[in-house]
């Protein structure tokens, strides 16, 4: 079992719709959770991070964390063609004073006009 699992997609949504991206992780000791966006040929860039159970909203983006179910999700409201990218879920498995950042394989999102 992979430590961080995502559906590879592609996830195709029409412009203006809500895109829902999901991620599960295997280590209950994981402490913090991140969503990165990566455009083709570019490096990943942080969209949101979440540490506590529940929802965290930032503009059109909402991250949801459920530690009991070991599940993280990202909702993108009012999706735009510019949101078309690969979305990477990352989990910080830091312990013993260091920081081990593990990524999922990513979900490709396509927003069509």
Partner 1 sequence: DVKVTQSSRYLVKRTGEKVFLECVQDMDHENMFWYRQDPGLGLRLIYFSYDVKMKEKGDIPEGYSVSREKKERFSLILESASTNQTSMYLCASTPDRGTEAFFGQGTRLTVV
Residues in contact with partner 1 by the rule CB under 8 A: 3, 6, 8, 31-32, 34, 36, 43-46, 49, 51, 88, 90, 92, 94, 97-106
d(CA 78, CA 50): 21
- For residues 17 and 110, which CB has a smaller minimum distance to partner 1 in the complex? 110
User: What's the CA gap between 72 and 102, in Å, rounded?
Assistant: 14
Identify which of residues 100 and 112 has a Cβ nearer to partner 1 in the complex. 100
Sheet strands side by side (includes 61-66): 4-6, 19-25, 71-76, 61-66, 54-58
Both tokens assigned to 35 = 């969503």
Minimum Å distance from CB 6 to partner 1? 8
CA distance linking residue 102 with residue 41, whole number of Å: 20
Q: Where are the alpha helices (DSSP H) in the chain?
A: none
- Minimum separation from the CB atom of position 17 to partner 1 (A): 25
C-beta of 32 vs 70, nearer to partner 1: 32
Residue 11 CB, shortest distance to partner 1, in Å, is 15
In the complex, minimum distance from the CB of residue 29 to partner 1, in angstroms, rounded to a whole number: 12
């Amino acid at each position: 079992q992979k430590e961080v699992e995502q559906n590879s997609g592609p996830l195709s949504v029409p412009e203006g719709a809500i895109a829902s991206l999901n991620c599960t992780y295997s280590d209950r000791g994981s402490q913090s959770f991140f969503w990165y966006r990566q455009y083709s040929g570019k490096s990943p860039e942080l969209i949101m991070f979440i540490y506590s159970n529940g929802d965290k909203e930032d503009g059109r983006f909402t991250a949801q964390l459920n530690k009991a179910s070991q599940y993280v999700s990202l909702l993108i409201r009012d999706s735009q063609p510019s949101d078309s990218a690969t979305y990477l879920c990352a989990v910080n498995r830091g312990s013993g004073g260091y920081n081990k950042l593990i990524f999922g394989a990513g979900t490709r999102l396509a927003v069509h006009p």
